[in-house]
A and B are shown apart, each in its own frame.
Chain A
Amino acid sequence: MKGNEALAEAAMRAGCKCFFGYPITPQTELAAYMAKRMQKNGGVFLQAESEIAAINMVLGAASTGVRAMTSSSSPGISLKSEGISYIAGSDLPCVIINVERGGPGLGGIQPSQADYWQATKGLGHGDFHLLVYAPASVQEMVDMVINAFDKADTYRMPAMILADGLLGQMMEPVTFPEVEPKVYDKSSWAADGHKGQREHHIINSLYLTPEALEKTVVDRFAKYDIIKEKETDAECYLTDDADIVVCAFGATARVVKSAVNEAREQGIKVGMFRPKTLWPFPVKEICKATESASKILSVEMSMGQMVDDIKLAINCSKPVEFFGRTGGVIPTPAEVLAKIKAMGGNN
């Protein structure tokens, strides 16, 4: 199954009741799959007039307590950023898919990871975060979408799957776990008609008194602290005795793993650290995984964005180098291996 289709199928199995989207390469199969299946599943599919409208339709649906989703690729996510900020400020749960492509501007349509900063730091105005998951296989796309809906509901905040064109277009075998969608009680806040039985609910992000606004943000950040404590996730591959730890997320981690395997065959002590959650960044995990390492390398499909978070996470206690390709160029295992060797990786 194609990555984009697997995302769609998994979302429906997770109880996603509506999808609002707008066509953009390389995520369009997702919307097409939803168009074919969503109505049969008793849900709503609607092609909006723009990315902006699509994210605001998600805002409306999520306000009533329904599991809602939208998807796009990099330029479209920029358009959605206004709505995402409002959704975060209104404490609404939803899932947003970004199948990244090269940028800036119209950029290209080949895979990229250059939206790392946007996803983890700058997705809209104001003080807020969203949960950001980075799958590295089609199977993980499935598992992470299901988890993302649950975490979004648990914490009443938007969650993003940060994938890329390679993962979206790739076909791999996949199994769908038999899960009953969890039911969350949203009756204390959902704006779905009070039926004369309760006070009216207001979904809102406007607070004209600075102290009132400050309190909502501070409260939200207290929630973020809990999330940072509980929700980090990462994969460590051959890091226990590694002299060099290569960090990579998403599709790039596949390339890195091939390079690490080849390096190991040549007797080079190298391992891989792969964050599965980009926000919250797995700080504890990376510190542990790099204990034995003398050097760290970040490999990304960008000019180097996650590399900053690695330095922060280890408090710049070790040298962190970078290798990346950007604009839609996918790094090869050979290039990564050459970089490992250039860093003095030998037996």
Chain B
Amino acid sequence: MAVVFERPKSLCDVPLHYCPGCTHGIVHRLVAEVMDEMGIEGNTVGVCPVGCSVMAYDYFGCDMIEAPHGRAPAVATGVKRTNPDKFVFTYQGDGDLAAIGTAETVHAATRGENIVVIFINNTIYGMTGGQMAPTTLPGQVTQTTPFGRNPELAGYPVRVCEMLSTLTGVALAQRVAVDSVPHVREAKKAIRKAFENQKEKKGFSIVEVLSTCPTNWGLTPTDALKRLRDEMIPYYPLGVYKDSVAGGND
């Protein structure tokens, strides 16, 4: 019988712990497919964040390191600088990358570290049970914004790709989403491009993936996808914010 669909080799054969309807699984699969297609799993070191995807080290088949909260880009820098021939990627959520780890993110980017950053933006802290993230939308209700995020009190959301696109060291800053099949295909292409950039030593590549969190949003998986489409994409427009040959750094 012809196999038409199977687990990418770069994903381990273990059940994922993610909630039903969570889009982490899709993004994991896309990263693994890219590793398979490029044949680089054995030559890749991944760095996990703290957050829902903290245990991604059990899922990706390549060697993995679990970093302190927010520090994944610094850990990845240490790996890449001492192992310039390896592929290095981080996989980080919005709290990890854009709150506690902002300095590490911005400086790895501006140094043009030749790494790939996969950034999951679901506008909420998932693992700790649904608190405000730096990307939480104005008006969005979370545990710590029970009356909706009021920018006058809690500030405005951070648009990460727009911010990083101003930095010379950034080779690729692209925002994608995984709410529909065409968008998932687009996301895969962006991730592939990011890894190809690393292969060609072009510098820092970040792919921001708009994702869902049905559990903490209090929505069904399908309604969550609808919210992503109707509320998140207008605030966080999809597209390529920067794509250039930056001064690579390894």
**Interface of A toward B, CB cutoff 8 Å:** 17-18, 20, 44, 46, 48-50, 52-54, 56-64, 66, 68, 82-83, 86, 90, 191-197, 200-206
C-alpha spacing A59/B76, complex, angstroms: 9
**Interface of B toward A, CB cutoff 8 Å:** 12, 41-45, 47, 54-55, 57-58, 60-68, 71, 74-83, 86, 103-104, 106-107
C-alpha spacing A21/B47, complex, angstroms: 21
| Nearest chain B CB to A229 CB, angstrom units | 31
A86, B68: Cβ atoms closer than 8 Å? yes
B107, A49: Cβ atoms closer than 8 Å? yes
C-alpha spacing A44/B65, complex, angstroms: 20
The chain B residue sitting closest to A195, CB to CB, is B42
* Given A61-B81, A192-B45, A193-B45, A200 contacting B63 (CB threshold 8 A): yes
| Nearest chain A CB to B15 CB, angstrom units | 15
C-alpha spacing A80/B6, complex, angstroms: 43
A17, B82: Cβ atoms closer than 8 Å? yes
B62, A206: Cβ atoms closer than 8 Å? no
Contacts of A82 in B (CB 8 A): 68
Contacts of B60 in A (CB 8 A): 200
C-alpha spacing A46/B75, complex, angstroms: 13
* Given A53-B71, A200-B63, A202-B64, A193 contacting B43 (CB threshold 8 A): yes
A sample of 9 inter-chain contacts (CB < 8 A) reads A17-B82, A48-B74, A60-B67, A60-B79, A63-B79, A64-B79, A192-B45, A194-B62, A204-B57
A203, B65: Cβ atoms closer than 8 Å? yes
B54, A58: Cβ atoms closer than 8 Å? no
| Nearest chain A CB to B63 CB, angstrom units | 4
A60, B62: Cβ atoms closer than 8 Å? no
C-alpha spacing A200/B66, complex, angstroms: 13
Contacts of B45 in A (CB 8 A): 63-64, 191-193
Contacts of B77 in A (CB 8 A): 46, 48, 53, 57, 60
B86, A193: Cβ atoms closer than 8 Å? yes
Contacts of B79 in A (CB 8 A): 60-61, 63-64, 191
Contact of B78 among A59, A194, A201, A202 (CB under 8 A): A59
| Nearest chain B CB to A145 CB, angstrom units | 19
B82, A56: Cβ atoms closer than 8 Å? no
Contact of B42 among A18, A90, A193 (CB under 8 A): A193
C-alpha spacing A54/B44, complex, angstroms: 22
C-alpha spacing A205/B42, complex, angstroms: 23
Contacts of A58 in B (CB 8 A): 78
6 nearest A-B residue pairs (beta carbon): A60-B78, A57-B78, A56-B74, A191-B63, A49-B107, A60-B75
Contacts of B42 in A (CB 8 A): 193-197
Beyond A60-B80, A86-B67, A192-B45, 11 additional pairs, beta carbon < 8 A: A18-B81, A44-B81, A48-B107, A52-B71, A57-B81, A59-B78, A64-B82, A194-B42, A197-B42, A202-B65, A206-B66
Contact of B66 among A195, A196, A203 (CB under 8 A): A203
Contact of A200 among B62, B103, B104 (CB under 8 A): B62
B78, A61: Cβ atoms closer than 8 Å? yes
C-alpha spacing A196/B63, complex, angstroms: 11
Contact of A68 among B12, B65, B82 (CB under 8 A): B82
Contacts of B86 in A (CB 8 A): 64, 192-193
Contacts of A20 in B (CB 8 A): 78
C-alpha spacing A54/B81, complex, angstroms: 13
| Nearest chain B CB to A123 CB, angstrom units | 14
Contact of A56 among B12, B62, B64, B71 (CB under 8 A): B71
The chain A residue sitting closest to B69, CB to CB, is A82
C-alpha spacing A61/B81, complex, angstroms: 8
Contacts of A50 in B (CB 8 A): 103
| Nearest chain A CB to B118 CB, angstrom units | 17
Contacts of B57 in A (CB 8 A): 202, 204
B82, A66: Cβ atoms closer than 8 Å? yes
A56, B67: Cβ atoms closer than 8 Å? yes
A191, B65: Cβ atoms closer than 8 Å? yes
The chain A residue sitting closest to B57, CB to CB, is A202
Contact of B63 among A49, A68, A193 (CB under 8 A): A193
C-alpha spacing A50/B68, complex, angstroms: 15
Contacts of B47 in A (CB 8 A): 60
The chain A residue sitting closest to B249, CB to CB, is A46
The chain B residue sitting closest to A86, CB to CB, is B68
| Nearest chain B CB to A22 CB, angstrom units | 11
| Nearest chain B CB to A252 CB, angstrom units | 34
Contacts of B82 in A (CB 8 A): 17-18, 44, 60-61, 64, 66, 68
Contacts of A52 in B (CB 8 A): 71, 74, 103-104
The chain A residue sitting closest to B71, CB to CB, is A56
